[in-house]
Structure 1
Amino acid sequence: MTASKLLVVIGITGNQGSSVASAFLKLPDWRIRGISRDISSAAAQQWISKGVELVKADLDDIDSLESAFRGASAIFAVTDFYSLMLDPANYAAAQQAAVTPNEYACNLETKRGMKIATAANSPAVSATLTHFVFSSLSDTKHWSHGKYTWNYHFDGKAAVVKRIKKELPGLAEKLSIIQVGMYASNWKGGMGRPQKQKDRAFVVQIPDIGEVQLPWIYVDRDVGIFVEALLATSPGKQILGVSQMASWREFWTLWAETRGVRLEIQVVSVEEFFQSLPEVLRREFQESLRYIVEFGYTGGDPDVCCNLQDILPGAKTATLKEYVESEDWSILD
């Protein structure tokens, strides 16, 4: 039987997009079209070998996006702040514009998000589109009442949501939002990575934020489950994408118990925890963490559903133990 619905996935070769594609490959009534700037890449070809249609499109080119979206029943859209901020060309452009790389990348991310939204709102795409799922984060400046202003990787995405609701009312009626939690794999970036000692025990640093419960997500596996839930119901929903809530201490204690290793946990200040990062990232991450601790990951937004079961009864996410058991930890040895 031919699948009756088409899901277009932006970022199919990335963490979130690949999770969505993997989840929907298992659903017989959906077919998948992925978007890539380079459909000849190894990652793109891997999806083609699985039966996914790959089309070439540029997130800065509305016409190419509109062409890629034609015939879609649903679109999953994600933008990437860090690839924009760490692009040397954008760093130089930020200096020339006399703004921080963070602010420059935030503005670019919002513009890119709006180009995606504009293409999705075009008459040719709107004719078949029922759901537009956008991967966003909470509006830091709004929910902190202006206290935190340097959480740009949250606020650029939140700005897209606000503009869609204000400028594109037709698309706003089809909008659903996933706020993806903290990647359980963030340790790979170096922050708080366990360090092996001569006696084969490990030492790991965690920030001094008490036992605050944080929304960890096994991103490669679970984002698709949340998108499936959003597409199984009417538009207009917001959901927090979380595999399991846990404090930083609980996360690494579980890691040590699961792997059967000895671990010493060192509690350091938030400033020290991020000290090894470049200054622009240091302040970004410090403010982000302080915002999460004080106001919550979603900022306390009452419209965000924090229980997957409320939207898709019977759906099951991974546990952190399952994440630890499936991850490749050889880099630490």
Structure 2
Amino acid sequence: MSKLLVIVGVTGNQGRGVAETFLKDPTWKIRGTSRDPTKESSQDLAAKGIEIVYGDVDDVDSLKKAFKGANLIFGVTAFDNMRIMFPSEADLASLKPNQTIRELPFEVEVQQGKNIADAVATVGDSLELFVFSALSNVKKWSKGKYTGVYHFDSKATVVEYINEKYPEVAKKMSVLQMGFFFQNWKFGQVGMPWEKRPGGSMLLRIPGDGNMPVPIVHPSDAGVFVQALAKLPPGKNLIAYANLITWEEYVKLWSKVTGVPAAFEKATIADHDKIVPGGLGEEVGEMFAYAQEFGYWGGDDKSVTFTKDLGVEVRVTKAEDYIKNEDWSELLNRPVPNN
């Protein structure tokens, strides 16, 4: 008998990756949630045999309906960076005393994650595993040094909520912590701070004082990790990556594969804040600094499991293959900054 996998946000990067992976296994039926089941990306997946249903992370009742009968649920939320860059007048008016604009998408994402958890808690005995895509608690593991990495802490807050409010769900939960995405450079310098130098060489300037290895991964490989977790007992806190590598090693690999001269340089959070003033640059800068100083997963978190220790084969896209097959013209054609 087939088992039922329900994917929250099936048209997103991670959700689609989970769908594409499980489509290859005929023992699973797949149901995906979408805010708009009629849109092209939803219909493309429906044409492949996926049941697409209405499901909105702001609407708990829609999620409860979508989760009925599920054996495996994959839950993911998204931090709204655009709200930091382009806050509305209503957003600005709603700020509490001493509250920053970065805290608004934090509050929204936390609530959306809680909505997913509230709906999962209603599934009942059919549920065997709930995989939630989260990240480490930066404020906690940095011992309060970095308090503004809201797109990490929002997801960690949801995990804490589940552990505290729904211990029975927590017993069936595994946490998936996806590493830095290979494609982050496509979001511009704020996502991965490459600079073009005179003469055509490239410079990657990452905030932070250390040279800690960081996990990097292709977002579409989320499905491979969820598939691996589905073969194991619940309770995993998985750091999911293709390569665990320092930024300096990554730059050397990138240069070797592309043939473009490149160097690595340590930068500061203040440097990164200048890339996108107004909050987002500072937030991402703090994230880079935290990952170098304390570890992407929080160095003292003994609950984490690394990809290499899973005991289950995980075939993913390696950094060298990604670099080799990517079109870097958009990056290489960027103008040299005026310094």
Give the drift of 1:198: 7.7
Give the drift of 1:151: 1.1
Higher helix residue share: 1
Whether contact under 8 Å (1:215, 1:297) holds in the other structure is yes
Tell me which residue corresponds to 1:258: 257
Whether contact under 8 Å (1:10, 1:34) holds in the other structure is yes
| TM-score of the aligned structures, taking structure 2 as reference length | 0.89
Q: Distance in 2 between matches of 1:113 and 1:208?
A: 29
Whether contact under 8 Å (2:22, 2:28) holds in the other structure is yes
Alignment of 1:282-321 (within 5 A): 282-300=281-299, 301-306=301-306, 308-321=307-320
Q: Which moved more, 1:243-252 or 1:179-188?
A: 243-252
The aligned amino acid for 2:290 is Y
Give the drift of 1:310: 3.0
Tell me which residue corresponds to 1:164: 162
Give the drift of 1:309: 4.2
Q: Which moved more, 1:162-171 or 1:278-287?
A: 278-287
Q: Distance in 2 between matches of 1:150 and 1:22?
A: 34
Give the drift of 1:147: 2.2
Alpha-carbon displacement from aligned partner over 1:219-276 (angstroms, at most 9, x marks no partner): 22x2111111111111111100111012222222222221223335555444224421
Match of 2:60 among 56, 59, 62: 62
The aligned amino acid for 2:111 is K
Tell me which residue corresponds to 1:72: 70
- Please state if 1:21 is matched with 2:43: no
Q: Distance in 2 between matches of 1:144 and 1:264?
A: 28
Q: Which runs of 5+ in 1 are unaligned?
A: none
| TM-score of the aligned structures, taking structure 1 as reference length | 0.90
Whether contact under 8 Å (2:8, 2:55) holds in the other structure is no
Q: In the superposition, relative to structure 1, how do residues 87 and 171 fare at CA in structure 2: closer, same or farther (>3 Å)? A: farther
Identity of counterpart residues, as a percentage? 38
Q: Distance in 1 between matches of 2:65 and 2:219?
A: 29
Give the drift of 1:65: 0.5
Tell me which residue corresponds to 1:52: 50
- Please state if 1:326 is matched with 2:304: no
Alignment of 1:39-118 (within 5 A): 39-82=37-80, 85-86=83-84, 92-98=90-96, 99-118=99-118
- The alignment covers a number of residue pairs equal to 326
Q: In the superposition, relative to structure 1, how do residues 103 and 146 fare at CA in structure 2: closer, same or farther (>3 Å)? A: same
Alpha-carbon displacement from aligned partner over 1:191-221 (angstroms, at most 9, x marks no partner): 145556785x33223225453311111122x
Alignment of 1:178-217 (within 5 A): 178-191=176-189, 192=192, 194=194, 201-207=200-206, 209=208, 210-217=210-217
Tell me which residue corresponds to 2:35: 37
Q: In the superposition, relative to structure 1, how do residues 91 and 138 fare at CA in structure 2: closer, same or farther (>3 Å)? A: farther
Residue 101 of structure 1 aligns to a residue whose secondary structure is coil
- Please state if 1:149 is matched with 2:129: no
Give the drift of 1:164: 0.7
Q: In the superposition, relative to structure 1, how do residues 313 and 58 fare at CA in structure 2: closer, same or farther (>3 Å)? A: closer
Whether contact under 8 Å (2:203, 2:262) holds in the other structure is yes
Give the drift of 1:53: 1.2
Give the drift of 1:80: 0.5
Give the drift of 1:90: 6.4
Give the drift of 1:83: 5.1
The aligned amino acid for 1:304 is V
Whether contact under 8 Å (2:206, 2:288) holds in the other structure is no
Residue 5 of structure 2 aligns to a residue whose secondary structure is strand
Q: Which moved more, 1:78-87 or 1:313-322?
A: 78-87
Give the drift of 1:94: 4.7
Alpha-carbon displacement from aligned partner over 1:55-102 (angstroms, at most 9, x marks no partner): 111111111101111111111001011257348566732542332221
The aligned amino acid for 1:118 is D
Residue 60 of structure 1 aligns to a residue whose secondary structure is coil
Residue 279 of structure 2 aligns to a residue whose secondary structure is helix
| Structure 1 stretches of at least 4 aligned residues deviating more than 4 Å after TM superposition | 86-91, 192-199, 264-267
What RMSD over aligned residues (CA atoms) do the two structures have, in Å?
A: 2.2
Whether contact under 8 Å (1:94, 1:104) holds in the other structure is no
Q: Which runs of 5+ in 2 are unaligned?
A: 334-339
Whether contact under 8 Å (1:10, 1:77) holds in the other structure is yes
Residue 285 of structure 2 aligns to a residue whose secondary structure is helix
Q: In the superposition, relative to structure 1, how do residues 73 and 147 fare at CA in structure 2: closer, same or farther (>3 Å)? A: same
Q: Distance in 2 between matches of 1:163 and 1:262?
A: 47
Q: Distance in 2 between matches of 1:182 and 1:143?
A: 18
